[in-house]
Structure formats: structure tokens, C-alpha cells
Amino acid sequence: MRKTLTIALSKGRILGETLPLLEKANIVPAEDISKSRKLIFDTNHEHIKLVILRATDVPTYVEHGVADFGVAGKDVLMEAATKNLYELLDLKISKCRLMTAGVVDQPLPNRRLKVASKFSKTAKAYFAEQGIQADVIKLYGAMELAPIMGLADLIVDIVDTGNTLKANGLEARDLIAPISTRLVVNKAAYKTKYSEIEPILEMIRNAVEDNEGK
């Protein structure tokens, strides 16, 4: 009998781009996820289930073995800094950039910087690597307000088109990392369920390659 495999998916934009990719890999939810309040879904494979989570919770569920696979943005994985995961595949979807940003043409002050970000661990590590002293303030939203209102000199945030920054008088500055969605697996599950995991990984890899070939 096959061991059950659970794939944790991130809500939001990533989910909208992940489901067509999974469909190409012949993994299809048994019902329309967008029209359901359920969080756990059967699929067209008896041994594969999907669970829908907040993006920031995906690494935690996979790390603790509650989910075998996880689909999450590289930004979330960098911030989680979990050690019990293998990053198996770049799914090449939901691409963007993690960058610093500040008020247009405003020079940085000659003192210890104040940086606002929801990616506080990543921001601290980045400025430490640059040899720049910085205090990082954890925020959860409306990041653009921080430099405008004097809470911070810079922000560290996800940049897609850059239009939101421009609309608020900010500019993107330094690239911290290119971001895309990754497929991760629990390290223990990769060993104990290898015969079940490897075929799924191959199906998803082929779907990614098919997308890239278009």
C-alpha cells in the first residue's frame, strides 16, 4: 500500500500559479479550491493530498513532517531559515525581487541605519554581510509608510513592478535576492518515502520544463 503524501501549498498569488503547474504534472484537486472553505483536499491520486496554508506557515509544516512537500517563495524560505528541509526544485513561478528601498534621491544618514521589514532575519543578515550597522524594525504591512513617516531610513521588501514604490515616492535600491517559488521536502520523508516522492518530483520537474519551453 502506498504511503500518503501531503503537499502544503501557499495561499494567494502563488496558489493561483501553482495549481496549473500541478495540473500539468497530473495532480488535480478533487474539487475547486477557489470555491471551497476547506483547507485539505483530496486529489486524483488516492495517496496525494493538498493542504492550503498561509505562505509563512508552509516551511513549519514541512519541517515538522506534517506535510511531506511544500510550495513556498524563496523569500519565505530565507526568512524561515529551517534546517530540516531539502529545496528540490525552482518552480520558476511568482518571480520577483527582494530589495532595499528608500525615499527617492534621499541620501542615507551618517549613523546607524533604521530598516523596516517583515523579513527581519533576512534583513539583519544582509546588512551584517555588507558590514553596515542597522537596527531592523519588524513590520507586517504598508512597508512604504516607514521611510515616508520617518520610522526607517530604508525598507526591505518584495518588488515586482516597482509601481507601489513609485506611487509613494520611493525607489528600489539594492538587490538582496531574486525570488521565485520553490518545492521543498521534509528531509526525513525524503528518505522514508523516497519511492513515493521521486515519481511526483519527476512529474513536477517535467511540468516546469514544459512551462519554460513555451
Asked whether residue 88 falls in the same domain as residue 12, the answer is yes
CATH code of 66's domain = 3.40.190.10
Asked whether residue 74 falls in the same domain as residue 115, the answer is no
Asked whether residue 81 falls in the same domain as residue 130, the answer is no
Label residue 82 by pLDDT band (50, 70, 90): confident
Label residue 3 by pLDDT band (50, 70, 90): confident
Asked whether residue 59 falls in the same domain as residue 163, the answer is no
Evaluate whether 164 touches 174 at the Cβ level (below 8 Å).
Answer: no
Asked whether residue 19 falls in the same domain as residue 89, the answer is yes
Percentage, residues of the chain above pLDDT 70 = 99
Question: Tens digit of pLDDT for each residue in 128-152?
Answer: 999 999 999 999 989 999 999 999 9
Asked whether residue 133 falls in the same domain as residue 197, the answer is no
Looking at the predicted structure, is the pLDDT value of residue 110 above 80?
Answer: yes
> Is residue 35 classed as helix, strand or coil in its secondary structure?
helix
Looking at the predicted structure, is the pLDDT value of residue 214 above 70?
Answer: no
The pLDDT score that the predictor gives to residue 141 is 87
The pLDDT score that the predictor gives to residue 83 is 87
The pLDDT score that the predictor gives to residue 1 is 64
DSSP secondary structure letters along 174-199: EEEEEE-EEEEEEHHHHHHTHHHHHH
Q: What stretches of the chain show up as alpha helix (H) in DSSP?
A: 13-24, 58-63, 74-80, 120-129, 145-148, 163-167, 187-192, 194-212
Asked whether residue 40 falls in the same domain as residue 113, the answer is no
Question: Tens digit of pLDDT for each residue in 153-165?
Answer: 999 999 999 999 9
Asked whether residue 156 falls in the same domain as residue 125, the answer is yes
Which sign, positive or negative, has the C-alpha torsion 25, 97, 82, 79? negative
Q: List the single range of 80-84, 107-111, 124-128, 131-135 with lowest mean pLDDT.
A: 80-84
Asked whether residue 135 falls in the same domain as residue 204, the answer is no
Looking at the predicted structure, is the pLDDT value of residue 104 above 90?
Answer: yes
Question: Tens digit of pLDDT for each residue in 172-198?
Answer: 999 999 999 999 999 999 999 999 999
Asked whether residue 10 falls in the same domain as residue 87, the answer is yes
Task: Please tell me the total count of domains within the chain.
Answer: 2
**Domain with 140 in it:** 96-178
Looking at the predicted structure, is the pLDDT value of residue 204 above 70?
Answer: yes
Asked whether residue 85 falls in the same domain as residue 136, the answer is no
Question: Tens digit of pLDDT for each residue in 14-52?
Answer: 999 999 999 999 999 999 998 999 999 999 999 999 999
Average pLDDT over residues 80-107: 95
Asked whether residue 86 falls in the same domain as residue 10, the answer is yes
The pLDDT score that the predictor gives to residue 2 is 72
**Arithmetic mean of pLDDT over the chain:** 95
Distance CA 38, CA 18 (A): 18
The pLDDT score that the predictor gives to residue 165 is 96
